[in-house]
Amino acid sequence: MSPKSDGATVITAPETDVEGVDNEAVTKNLVFVAAERLFALHGFQNVSVRDITAAAGVNLASVNYHFGSKDALLYEIFRRRTVELNRERAKKLHEATDRHAGNPPVREILAALLTPPLKWLAPDHERRISLQFLIRARSEGTDEIRKVLQTDVTHLRRFSDALLKARPDLPSEEIYWRLHFTLGMLHNNRFAEFDRLNVLSEGATSEADVEALLGRMLAFAEAGFSA
């Protein structure tokens, strides 16, 4: 990506802290934020350590000093954002469970799964770029990330269990497949796919209204589960 420009090459006001507060200007945080942004926009393989440190305005050796390696940096960003996103989802699922005496309907379960990432997608949301990062990391990440995605399904199981309970009439495999389909819909929300959709619809579709998008996705997925 070297020949390209990036708007602002130096991150002046990162909105994310690495460990606590008052470390906005700390090198480690500058690297974290710049790397997340560049990985999300251009992909892991297309961004070099030099690109990251240049964008962050720090020394080349910073990545290896603070994170150990480029791979470890990617993994740390991935881990933190995943935890953050899944915590929001789990909280929503928990609330829905409380609201419905331990057995929420399909729509509420799907809402708990889809609402947090779609909220992040809003144009002015501070996690907008993080969501793009997560989507990319899922398919372009390192072997370690891929292994974690395949191995650690504890978070996802909360949702499949809830769905199994909400639809005891369906064969369990059917539940898993429909969950798989729903996740496919979600992970298709990449900038590039939106651009393609906008060309196809000649501007009739706008992903800026995430509330509307969430409503459409929920309606589509819920109908799919009721098939």
Partner DNA sequence: GCCAAATTCGAACGGCCGTAAGACTTCCCC
Partner DNA sequence: GGGGAAGTCTTACGGCCGTTCGAATTTGGC
Enumerate residues 6+ apart whose C-beta is below 8 A from 4.
42
Which one-letter DSSP state was computed for residue 139? Answer: H
Q: Which listed option, DNA, a second copy, none, makes contact with residue 140 (CB within 5 to 8 Å by class)?
A: a second copy
Give the residue with the Cβ less far from DNA, 28 or 158: 28
| One of 35, 37, 66, 120 touching DNA (CB under 7 A) | 66
Task: Write the DSSP string, 3-32.
Answer: TS--S-SS-SS----SSSSS-TT-HHHHHH
The stretch near a second copy (CB under 8 A) out of 9-17, 18-26, 81-89, 180-188 is 180-188
Token reading at 220: 């589509």
| One of 71, 84, 88, 222 touching a second copy (CB under 8 A) | 222
CB of 101 to a second copy, least distance (A): 26
50 binds a second copy (CB under 8 A): no
CB of 56 to DNA, least distance (A): 9
Give the residue with the Cβ less far from a second copy, 127 or 158: 158
CB of 23 to DNA, least distance (A): 10
| One of 103, 177, 208, 211 touching a second copy (CB under 8 A) | 177
Question: Which amino acid is present at 62?
Answer: S
181 binds a second copy (CB under 8 A): yes
Q: Helices 172-187 and 154-166 meet at what angle, rounded to 10?
A: 120
The stretch near a second copy (CB under 8 A) out of 40-48, 65-73, 83-91, 123-131 is 40-48
58 binds DNA (CB under 7 A): yes
63 binds DNA (CB under 7 A): yes
Total of residues contacting DNA (CB under 7 A):
21
SS3 per-residue string spanning 209-226: CHHHHHHHHHHHHHHHHC
Cα-to-chain-centroid distance, residue 30:
20
Question: Which amino acid is present at 43?
Answer: G
Total of residues contacting a second copy (CB under 8 A):
52
Enumerate residues 6+ apart whose C-beta is below 8 A from 178.
163, 221, 224, 225
In terms of Cα–Cα distance, which of 28, 31, 83 is closest to 52? Answer: 31
Which residues bind to DNA, rule: CB under 7 A? 2, 26-28, 47-51, 58-66, 69-71
